[in-house]
Structures are given as C-alpha cells and as structure tokens.
Amino acid sequence: MELIIDITLLTFLGLTALAINRIDKLFCIIMLSGIYSLLCASLFVSMDAVDVAFTEAAVGTGIATVLLLSTIGATDTQQRSAPQRPLFALLVVCATGAILVYGTMDMPAFGDPDAPIHHHVAPRYLEMSQQEVGSDNIVTSILSSYRGFDTLGETVVIFTAGLSVVGLIGFRGMQKFGDRQRAAGITQDDMGKHLVLRIVIKMFIPLILLFALYVQFHGDFGPGGGFQAGVIFASGFIFYTLMFGLDAAMRVVSPRTLSYIAALGVLTYGGVGITTLLMGGNFLDYNVLRPDPLQGQHLGIFLIELGVGTTVFSIMVLIFFAFSSRKGLRQ
Amino acid sequence: MSSILELMPSVYAGASLALLAVMGSTLVRAILGPTAFDRVMAVNMFGTKTVLLLSLLGFLSGRPDFLDIALVYALVNFLSTIAVLRFFEGRPQVVKQCSTTDVDLDVNHDADPDASGPTTAMEE
Amino acid sequence: MNIGAHYNYWVAIFLMMTGFYVVITHGNLIKKLIGLNLFTTSVFILYISLAKVKGGTAPIIAPGIEVYSNPLPHVLILTAIVVGVATTAVGLALVLLIYDRYGTIEEDEIRLKDDSL
Amino acid sequence: METFLVLASTLCISMGVFLGITGAIGIFRMPNFFARLHAASVTDSGCAFMLLFGLMLQSGFTLATIKLCFILLFFLISSPTAAHALAKTALSCGAQPTSSPREER
Amino acid sequence: MNHLAAIQVIIPLLCAPLCMLLRWRTGAWLIATLATWATFGVSLVLARTVILNGAITYDMGGWPAPWGISYHVDILSAFVVLIVSGVAALTLAFAYKSVQREIRPESLRAFYALLLICLAGLLGIALTGDAFNIYVFLEISSLSAYALIGMGQRRRALRAAFQYLIMGTIGATFILIGIGLLYSLTGTLNIQDLASRVEMIPTSTYGNHTLITAFAFLTVGLSLKLALFPLHLWLPNAYTYAPSVVTIFLAATATKVAVYMLLRFSFCILGQRFVFEQLTLGNILLLPSLAAILVASLVAIFQYDIKRMLAYSSIAQIGYMTLGISLNSHAGLSAGILHMFNHALMKGALFMVMGAVAYRTGSVYLSDFRGLGRRMPWTMAAFVFGGLSLMGVPLTAGFISKWILLQATLEAGWWPVTAIILLGSLLAVIYIWRVVETAYFNPRHEIEHGTEEAPLSMLLPMWVLIGANIYFGIDTSIPLHMAERAATILMSGGTL
C-alpha cells in the first residue's frame, strides 16, 4: 500500500517539475512550486520523515511562495526570453543524470533494513538517546544535542540571510515605503474591502501564535522544534501584514527591533555554548549545566530551541517586510 | 469482533487512493487552468486534499499523533491563498498576464488599478 | 522487485536533472531560482529515501514499536532545507535590486544593458 | 457498539470520498471560473468534514480526536472564507460570472 | 587550554550579532577588528600547539567522534587557519577608511557582521572533522560572500553576486550529493571514521560505482568552488565588482579553503591510493591546471580593469596549486600547500594596492595609474614588490613556491610542464610590467588632480604583507616546514 502512495506521489512530482519547466508565466510557476513543496512534504511523511515534512511544508509552501509573490509583485510577471542553448543544456543534464544513475546501481535497495547506514551510527541514537538526552523525538535529540553545532550553523545561516537582506535593501529602504505610499495618495493599502477575511484572520492570528508556541515546546515528544515554531510564528505576522498593510505591521514591530531580536536569538544559542565552556564541559555539552545530566540536557535543549525559534521568527518577518516594502516601486 | 476492525485499514487505503486520484485531477487543473484564479483555486483544493491524505496516512500507519503536521498544512495552505489574493488586490491587468491562454479579453480600456467593478469578460 | 528498489532514486535523479535544466536554460532570474529550488529539494528526496526502513515508523519513540527509520538523514535535511531557504531569500533580494537598477530581470536584456555602456 | 462505530465511520469516509470525487469531476465539467470555484469549495468543505468526522469516530476519546477537532474547526472556518475572498477578488479583478453557459463569447 | 579549537570559530561567529546590536557605526568596525585580531592570536597559539604535540581532536557537545561532531585540527588545518585569520586581521585594519567610501553608511554594521560570519565560515571549514559540518560552514561562508559582493557600488556587482550565487549553490549541492553517496556506503559522517570504512569497501566488487560517482560529484563541486579553469566564470566578475575590502579578503582566503577541502576529501577520505591509482586524479587535474595557467595569464594581459587582471592572475595561481596536487608526489603536494600561503600574501598585498588606488582615484582602470609612481610612491612600490613576488623573482615568497614546484616537476620528469610553469611566470611579467610602466614611465599626465599618498591606515597593513612576502622569501623555514609535514600526513591518508 505504501509503495503505491510513494509511486503516485513521485509521478505527481515529476509531472509538476515538467510543468514548471514548460510554462513561462511566472505566477503559474510559483503556484506549481507551492504544489511541488506540498507533494514533497507528503512524500516525506509517507517515508516517515515527520519533522522534515513539517519544515518543508511550512517553508516551501508558506514562506517561499509568499516571498516569490512579493518579488514578482515588485518586478514583473512576464518571462520574455526563450530558453537559450537548450541542446547543450540537455547534453550536460543527461550526462550528469547518467553518472548519477550509474552511481545508484550499487546503493542499497530502497527501505532495505540491512543497509550500512542502519548499522553503524544510527542504532546508538535510537537506543541511547532516551537515557542520555531524554527526549522521545530522536530527531530533536540529534538536532539539538548530538549534532548541536550543526544547528548553531543553521541558525547562523538564517541570520546571514537576514543580514544580507538588511545590508542590501537596508532599514531606510523599508521606512521609505510608508511615505512613498502617502505620497502616492494610497491611504489604505490593505485588503480593506474583504470584511469577512478581516474578521476571520483577526480571530485566527492569536490561535496561530499559540499553536506556534505549542510546536516550540512540544519538540521533545512529537514533530516540531525551534525552527518550525519560528516559521509558524512568522506566518502569524505575515497574515497580519497581508491583511492590515505594511504600515500597521511596521508599527507593531519595526525592522530594526527585529534585527535586534535576531541578534539576541543567535547570542542565546552561542551563550548556552559559552556557559557550558565556562562550567567546564566542552562547547555545547549540556550535561554540565545542571547537577543531574538529564536535566542539564533538557535545559540546554529548551534554551537553544528558544534561540533558534526567535532568530527564525524575526529573520523571516524581517525579510518579508523588506520584500513587501518594494511593492510601490514599480508603478 | 476483531474481524470488523480489520476492515478499517482497507477503508483507509481505499479512501487514500481516491484522494490521490482527486489530487491528480486538481494537479492537472492547476497546470492547464486557463485563468490565474483557476490555479489559485486548484492549489487551495490540492492543499485541503493533502491534509486529508495525511490524516488518513496517520491512521493507516497506526501513528495518529502526527496530526500536527496536517494542521500546519491547512494553516500554510490558507496563508498562501491569502498571499495570492493580496498579490492580485487592485491589479486586474496583472491577472491577464498571469493567465496562460491568451484569450482575447475584450478590454476596451486598460482598467486603472483603483477602478473596481467588472470591466472584462473572462472565460475559455 | 528491482524497479521498486530503486524507483525513488531514479525519480529523485529525474527531478534533479529537470531543476538543473531549468537553471541552465532559462534566462529569467526568478525562474532560475525556482529551478535551483527544484534541484536542491530533489537532493533531499534522495537523502530521505536512503533513511527509510521497510516496516519502520517515524523515529519518535512510542511504546510497543521496535523498528524505526534512520533519524540521521532527517537531521541533515532539516539543516539543508534551512540553507535552501536562506539562499532563495538572498537570491530574491538580489533580483529585487537588479530590477531596481536594470529595469529588467531577463539575463540577456541585462547583458545588453551592460554591454551597451 | 464496535460494529456500529465501524459502520458509521466507513459510511462517513465513503461519503467524504464521494464528495471529493464529485469535486474533482466538477472542476473539469463546469464552464467558467465561478462555477468551478463553487464546485470545488463546496465539495472541499463537505469532504473534509465527513472524512475527519469518520476518523474521529474511529479514534474515540484520545489526543488524536482533539487534534482532529482542531483541524475540522480550522477547515470549517478557513476553507469557505478563502473561497469567498477568492471570488471577491476575482470579481473585483474583472472576472464576469456569466449567467448561462450559452452566452459563449 | 584544549578549548582552543572551539574558541577559534566562536569568536567571529558570536561577535557578528554583537556588531548588529550596536547603534554606533564605528563600534561595529572596532568589534570586528578586535574579533579578528583575537582570532589571529588564537590561531597562532593553536598552530604552535599543533606543531609541538600533534593533532588536536575536540568533541563538540561532549559526544565522542562518530556520534557527535568532532573537530580534528592537524598541521594542514592549522596552516590554513593561520593564513585565513592573518589575512582577515590585516584586511579589517585596512577596511576602516576604504569602506567609508564604498559602502552606504546605513548598511555598515551589516557589512562588518557579514565579514565576520564569512571569516567564521572559512575557519569552520578548515577546523572541522565532520563531512556534513564542512557543507554547513561552506554554505555560511558562501552565503555571506554573495551578500558582500552584492554590496558593491556598481550595478554589475549585483549581477556578479547573482551569478556567483547560482554557480556556488550548484557546486555546494554537488558536494552535498557526494557526501550523501559516501554516507550511504559507510553510515558515518566523521572524516576519520569515513576514511577507515571507505578502505574496507572492496572497490573491485560492491560499492565501486557509488564511490566513483561520489568522487566525481565531489571533485566537480569543489572545482566549481575552487574556480578551476573550465568552471571559473564566476570569479572575475565577483572579484572585480565587489567592494575592495571584500575582494582582498575573498581573493586571499576563499579559494585557499576550497583547495584545502579538495585535499581533505581526496586524500583523507577517499584515500591517496584509491584516488590516484584507480581514478587517476592526477591526469584529471593536470589538464585544467595547465590550461588555467596559460589561458588565464594570457587573458589577464588584455584587461583594462586592473582588478579584473588580478582576478585572472588568481585563476592562474590556483592552476599552480592544483598542478602541485596533480603531481601526486610529496614534493609536489608540499609545493601546492606552500603556494596557498604565498599566494595569500601576494594577492592580499596586490588587492590592497587596488583598494588604496580606488580610495584615492575612485576606479582602478589602467588610465588611472598614469603618473601614480610619483603621487602615490609607497602604494606603487608595494605594487612593484607584490608584482615581483607574483612573477617569482628570487628573494620573494613567490619564488620559493615556484622553485619547489619546478623541482617537483623535474623530479617527476615532466619537462613540458616545467616549460609551461616558466611560460606562466613570463606572462605574469608582461601584465605586471604593463601597470608598472604606466605608473612610473608614462610621460605627462594631462590633468594633475592632486591625489596624494593613501592614508597610513591603508599603507601599514599593505606593507606588513609586503614585508611578510619578502621575509618568507628569505627565511622559508616556518611555512615550508609546516607544508612538508602537512604533505606527509596527507600522503599517509590523514591518519598520522
């Protein structure tokens, strides 16, 4: 049964990818890339990758589609140029594809239980992580404790993305949006006419933020964690901005404070690492945080998930503010 | 008694196959859809069907506590629909650019962004 | 059942190649970024299909379940998804500024505008 | 009791699936956008309600039922609103709901 | 003090958010400079401890090697870390004045934070002993590099940054595929554990195909990051249109770390025996490196924008490094590693001269250099010395690495290759002389706009680099010794 679901989802993915390649209207491609991420996420669920499906859906369909839409909102929705040098590209692509297929010939079959990767490092995570780290969700325990330095790198990558948007577009660019709107005489640049939508969204935003907090602190026992919580929290803010306009949203939280929150998030994560250093353990070794190592692990994971959540939330909202502040430039 | 409960997984399996078929047809509509709004509707419908498929998969694989993911899908699906509507807010000429078939919408004058109200007829 | 054994990998490779093709041929900068997104997402499918164990469930310890899928590729892919989003965000910021300064997001028009200086 | 629950949930799920399939056929048969939107959104909400209700019957009083309730609640509110907003924007952006299919221009 | 390896990466990584928290703009520069000087100090101590008592391993989070992420710092990593943090310290000292002219004041804090993050990414790659961690820190350094290049004044900087982003991400994804295939064969991600388990795979039967494909993808991905000849298209635009400070930093460090990754993956993980005997990496690398040396130097001669000329000469110098590696001999390898060090010194100094000239005259075209010999004597003198080192004139660092490379090629009996190396140096003489001739011997310059000498804060770091160039040309003991020991470790498969 699972095989049939896998194969159908994969054929849908192939179909969407071909459609994305053929259609030349940018808006249609963005919609199809939204569907592509949804399909990917359901494929991940059917392959038991629950946290990854969570993140891929929240990021691929949510944030990426919203950012792409605000980009083509500020630029143009027409793809004019025909594909250049298709034959050469087809050659290169087929060559790489052939090498890859040649490479997978020796790989273990799909779902084969005695593949090497299931017998070397992974068994210890599955057996020992409850005694050593004390969280049911093995992925969270690896993410935050065994390979915690990778997650610090991940947080810094998100922080870099936010910094580059701030460096390239700049805070003043975002502030200028307000007076550019007023100059153009558009007083209410929001979806004022949608009364029903406004009430529903006003009702939903607090629930969404509450759900984000649930996901944040539920990371140990079920799918979820800092990154997913940050994205959902940011989608609550994005809902607010879409409904009530960028000016109102910027009055709620200004881009400058968002960059401070992001910096504090990364510093929380790094700070936990440095306190473990000062308390005698290695960098990011949570056992030294509390007398009882298991509690230390819980405290450490809690703090760094908080750091990841704050950083991701503030950077996602910051990038969205920067992109939607370019909206008025085109007219 | 237990024989009745054995029936349920096959019901789930049948339902998820049907849902896959529905998702397939929505996907085809999303790719072919003449007007831009068809695509938005198709994506919205695709999202809801995926949520239902996930709930069924959760029950099929015996781990019903994964329904948080289904809830996030519903949330994200709603978010992308609202973002698209925000994108189309007050920009009718953009809608024509985004429709694939260059159906000659008899637009006598280019509707300026603020004029609301129907000015064109749009169908296959 | 050889086809079932490698079907995942072959479709992942097909998606990779479609994304790669889109990146190489299409001049529109936003379409290139979407192609890049296709390319990286299909590498994730390759990783996750490595991790699946037949008969295993998600790596969240639940009473009475013995066989779990391998959690390590999931962690790697969580980081890689974040990297993918960050790259797309920086790419889109650059596209916005390129449109600001060049007035177009088609690669050949940009090249024309630069060569005509 | 057990058999009743099983029968009820099978009935609900098959009803939901039936609605889903009608929706799928509807979006291809309907002449223009608004008719298609009507077909899609009505069957969407219906299919979601019936299917989730069927699953709720199956899972009894556990955490899963509460989560299913949340999903059902969210669907019942968000799906019609999204369809309404989509129709409103389509109307304001020039889509003309033709009264009858014969006026094919 | 065994936390050195962790502190080395943490200082720049956590000082970057600090830069963002300050409202005081020059404070950001202050934090950045202090952070880089502290990192340089730590790298000196680290290098000393590694030289004295061998490789340091440091388990992040307290988890032992194959389960957690562990840092393995051997001579080669310490050598690369020394280069990267030294150049970073001097670049930040140089950056105070130069950035005020080239970066918008409001995005100054973001600029310094990104520079620190790029430094942390490069250091992270050099130190880590975990294959996936290399990919994460590679992405950190490349992402900040895209943004830094995009901040250039001219609109072409945006185009160059976008092109670099596309090619860089494709390269990084190829590396990710390579790591994934290696992981699917062995099950671990720690480099030493990976190396031991790759040996166990009987490459004749099972696992041969996947190993070869993993090696192919890793080499293509790394040579894209390395800007090896056919895949170098992003480098000239990126270095020409980026702000001068970014060009100085990237030119002297980013490609060296990419060479380090190539060494680490092909020698330590896949094993020197497998890579060179079975897959003949030697011949695969030989042709592109020779092409790089010749074609890049030839193209450099006809460039009017001197920064672009130096960018092409960087591609040629990278050809020398990969040539050293492809010789597959101890001497060749140590020549390649030593050239990483010398090239960082040369290119750092030359691009600092470009920064000073751009600071004074606004652009670095050949016509701007007319009469600079008199008006900016110190800067142009630094250019002359840097040029001499680039050509490989005796008593300079460039000569040492060329000399050892020539010995290695003669020892291997490839006399046509030695001829090409000498031809490459000859071409270097031509394109350096072109600039020196316009600067010193050009007759009268019509409009004598009063550009006086570059400020002291720029001249000092420039001359420190030139001094290092000359000092390490004469007393080559330290870098040569480190390069040779690194070569022995690599030839023995990184387990020593």
Please state which of the ranges A301-305, B97-101, B110-114 shows the lowest mean pLDDT. Answer: B110-114
pLDDT digits (tens, 9 = 90+) for C11-52: 999 999 999 999 998 888 999 999 999 999 999 999 998 888
Dig out the tokens for C87 from the structure. Answer: 């790259």
Kindly state whether residues A63 and A198 are assigned to the same domain: no
Dig out the tokens for E496 from the structure. Answer: 């020593």
| H/E run at residue E139 | helix E131-150
Please state which of the ranges A196-200, D89-93, E5-9, E221-225 shows the lowest mean pLDDT. Answer: D89-93
Average confidence (pLDDT) over A222-237: 90
Distance CA A179, CA E345 (A): 49
pLDDT digits (tens, 9 = 90+) for A36-70: 999 999 999 988 888 999 999 998 888 999 999 98
Contact A38 B46 (CB under 8 A): yes
pLDDT digits (tens, 9 = 90+) for C97-107: 999 888 888 88
C-beta of residue A162 within 8 angstroms of C-beta of residue E16: no
Q: What pLDDT score was predicted for residue A163?
A: 93
pTM for the model stands at 0.93
Residue B82 lies in a domain: yes
Q: Which residue has the tokens 């992001």?
A: A262
* Residue E215 pLDDT class (50, 70, 90 cuts): confident
In terms of residue numbers, what domain contains A6? Answer: 1-112
pLDDT digits (tens, 9 = 90+) for E137-160: 999 999 999 999 999 888 899 999
Average confidence (pLDDT) over E278-302: 86
Average confidence (pLDDT) over D4-28: 91
pLDDT digits (tens, 9 = 90+) for A29-38: 999 999 999 9
Partner residue facing D33 (CB), from B38, B67, B81: B38
Percent of chain E with pLDDT over 90: 47
* Residue B120 pLDDT class (50, 70, 90 cuts): very low
* Residue D103 pLDDT class (50, 70, 90 cuts): very low
Partner residue facing A260 (CB), from E21, E61, E137: E21
pLDDT digits (tens, 9 = 90+) for E300-354: 999 889 999 999 999 999 999 999 888 888 898 899 999 999 999 999 999 999 9
Q: What pLDDT score was predicted for residue E307?
A: 92
* Residue E278 pLDDT class (50, 70, 90 cuts): low
* Residue A165 pLDDT class (50, 70, 90 cuts): very high
Total structural domains in chain B? 1
Chains in contact with D, where contact requires at least 3 CB pairs less than 8 Å apart? A, B
State which amino acid sits at residue A59. V
Distance CA E174, CA E178 (A): 6
- A123, pLDDT greater than 80: yes
In terms of residue numbers, what domain contains B17? Answer: 2-98
Which residues in chain A have Cβ-Cβ distances shorter than 8 Å to C16?
96-97, 100
Q: What pLDDT score was predicted for residue E267?
A: 85
Q: Does C117 touch chain A (CB under 8 A)?
A: no
* Count of CB atoms situated within 10 Å of the CB of A92: 15
Measure Cα distances from D19 to B55, D29, D31, D39 in Å.
Answer: 17, 15, 20, 10
The per-residue DSSP string of E85-112 comes to HHHHHHHHHHHHHHHHHHS-GGGHHHHH
Give percent helix, percent strand, percent coil of chain A, each to the nearest 5: 75, 0, 20
Average pLDDT, chain E: 88
Contact D47 B88 (CB under 8 A): no
Which residues in chain C have Cβ-Cβ distances shorter than 8 Å to A255?
none
Distance from CA of E14 to the nearest CA of A (A): 6
Q: What pLDDT score was predicted for residue D95?
A: 67
Residue A161 lies in a domain: yes
* Residue E212 pLDDT class (50, 70, 90 cuts): confident
Which residues in chain A have Cβ-Cβ distances shorter than 8 Å to D75?
none
* Residue E204 pLDDT class (50, 70, 90 cuts): low
Residue A86 lies in a domain: yes
Q: What pLDDT score was predicted for residue C33?
A: 94
Dig out the tokens for E32 from the structure. Answer: 């950045």
Which residues in chain A have Cβ-Cβ distances shorter than 8 Å to D86?
none
Q: Which of A20, D40, A27, A24 is nearest to A37 (CA)?
A: A20
Q: What pLDDT score was predicted for residue E141?
A: 95
- E284, pLDDT greater than 90: no
Q: What pLDDT score was predicted for residue B100?
A: 60
C-beta of residue C13 within 8 angstroms of C-beta of residue A99: no
* Residue A194 pLDDT class (50, 70, 90 cuts): confident
**Do the chains C and A touch each other, judged by at least 3 C-beta pairs below 8 angstroms?**
yes
Q: Read off the DSSP letter of residue E368.
A: G
Q: Does D10 touch chain A (CB under 8 A)?
A: no
Contact E170 C90 (CB under 8 A): no
pLDDT digits (tens, 9 = 90+) for E47-72: 999 999 888 888 888 888 888 899 98
* Residue E495 pLDDT class (50, 70, 90 cuts): low
Q: What pLDDT score was predicted for residue B109?
A: 32
Average confidence (pLDDT) over E266-284: 74
Distance CA A188, CA A197 (A): 16
Contact D85 A204 (CB under 8 A): no
Residue B116 lies in a domain: no
- C2, pLDDT greater than 70: no
Residue B118 lies in a domain: no
Closest residue, chain C, to E156 (C-alpha): C114
Contact E60 A106 (CB under 8 A): no
C-beta of residue E337 within 8 angstroms of C-beta of residue E483: yes
Q: Does A95 touch chain C (CB under 8 A)?
A: no
Q: What pLDDT score was predicted for residue C100?
A: 86
Number of C-alpha atoms within 13 angstroms, CB side, residue E408? 27
Average confidence (pLDDT) over E186-197: 87
C-beta of residue A322 within 8 angstroms of C-beta of residue A173: yes
Q: Does C26 touch chain E (CB under 8 A)?
A: no
Contact B62 C57 (CB under 8 A): yes
Q: What pLDDT score was predicted for residue C55?
A: 82
Chains in contact with E, where contact requires at least 3 CB pairs less than 8 Å apart? A, C
Identify the three-state secondary structure at position A314: helix
Q: Please give the interface size between A and E, counted as residue pairs whose CB atoms are below 8 Å apart.
A: 181
Distance from CA of E300 to the nearest CA of A (A): 28
Q: What pLDDT score was predicted for residue A185?
A: 63
Q: Which of C66, E72, C55 is nearest to A110 (CA)?
A: C55
Q: What pLDDT score was predicted for residue B119?
A: 37
- B80, pLDDT greater than 80: yes
- D36, pLDDT greater than 90: no
What are chain C's domains? 2-54+66-115 (1.10.287.3510)
Most confident of A119-123, E150-154, E372-376: E150-154
Q: Does D85 touch chain A (CB under 8 A)?
A: yes
Q: Which of E55, E5, E4 is nearest to E489 (CA)?
A: E55
Kindly state whether residues A160 and A278 are assigned to the same domain: yes
- B110, pLDDT greater than 70: no
Distance from CA of C71 to the nearest CA of A (A): 6
Average confidence (pLDDT) over E243-250: 94
Q: What pLDDT score was predicted for residue A149?
A: 92
Identify the three-state secondary structure at position E60: helix
| H/E run at residue C72 | helix C72-102
Q: What pLDDT score was predicted for residue E449?
A: 60
Q: What pLDDT score was predicted for residue D28?
A: 86
Kindly state whether residues A55 and A156 are assigned to the same domain: no
Kindly state whether residues A108 and A143 are assigned to the same domain: no
Q: Which residue has the tokens 């597959």?
A: E328
Distance from CA of A35 to the nearest CA of E (A): 22
Q: Does B84 touch chain A (CB under 8 A)?
A: yes
Average confidence (pLDDT) over A159-182: 81
Return the residue in B22, B60, B72, B97 with the most chain D beta carbons within 10 A, the one to mutate for interface testing: B22
* Residue B5 pLDDT class (50, 70, 90 cuts): confident
* Residue E188 pLDDT class (50, 70, 90 cuts): confident
Dig out the tokens for E97 from the structure. Answer: 């004045």
- B108, pLDDT greater than 60: no
Q: What pLDDT score was predicted for residue E453?
A: 81
User: Which of A85-90's residues contact partners 24+ apart within 8 Å by CB, and which partners?
Assistant: A85/C24, A85/C25, A86/C25, A89/C21, A89/C24, A89/C25, A90/C21
**Do the chains E and B touch each other, judged by at least 3 C-beta pairs below 8 angstroms?**
no
Domain boundaries, chain E: 280-496
Q: Does D1 touch chain B (CB under 8 A)?
A: no
Total structural domains in chain A? 2
- E441, pLDDT greater than 90: no
Distance CA A64, CA A47 (A): 23
Which residues in chain C have Cβ-Cβ distances shorter than 8 Å to E173?
39-40, 43
Please state which of the ranges A227-241, D24-38, E347-361 shows the lowest mean pLDDT. Answer: D24-38
- E443, pLDDT greater than 90: no
Distance CA E421, CA A225 (A): 55
Higher pLDDT, E371 or A97: A97
Q: What pLDDT score was predicted for residue C52?
A: 86
Which residues in chain A have Cβ-Cβ distances shorter than 8 Å to D92?
193
Distance from CA of E254 to the nearest CA of A (A): 17
Contact A149 E21 (CB under 8 A): no
Contact C79 E161 (CB under 8 A): no
Contact A81 C27 (CB under 8 A): yes
Q: What pLDDT score was predicted for residue E365?
A: 86
Most confident of A159-163, E102-106, E329-333: A159-163
Which residues in chain A have Cβ-Cβ distances shorter than 8 Å to E185?
107, 116
- B106, pLDDT greater than 60: no
Residue A131 lies in a domain: no
Residue B89 lies in a domain: yes
Percent of chain B with pLDDT over 90: 28
Average confidence (pLDDT) over E251-279: 83
Q: What pLDDT score was predicted for residue B123?
A: 35
Distance CA B60, CA A2 (A): 9
Kindly state whether residues A95 and A143 are assigned to the same domain: no
Contact C58 B63 (CB under 8 A): yes
Q: What pLDDT score was predicted for residue A188?
A: 59
* Residues whose CB is less than 8 angstroms from the CB of residue C3 and which lie 6 or more positions away in sequence, other chains included: none
Contact E117 A106 (CB under 8 A): no
- D105, pLDDT greater than 50: no
Q: Please give the interface size between A and B, counted as residue pairs whose CB atoms are below 8 Å apart.
A: 140
Partner residue facing B29 (CB), from D27, D32, D94: D27
**Range 42-61 of C in CB contact (< 8 A) with A:** 44-45, 48-61
Residue B107 lies in a domain: no
Closest residue, chain B, to D93 (C-alpha): B92
- A181, pLDDT greater than 80: no
pLDDT digits (tens, 9 = 90+) for E392-434: 888 888 888 889 999 988 888 888 888 999 999 999 999 999 8
Contact C21 A75 (CB under 8 A): no
Distance CA A39, CA D76 (A): 23
Higher pLDDT, A185 or D53: D53
Kindly state whether residues A41 and A170 are assigned to the same domain: no
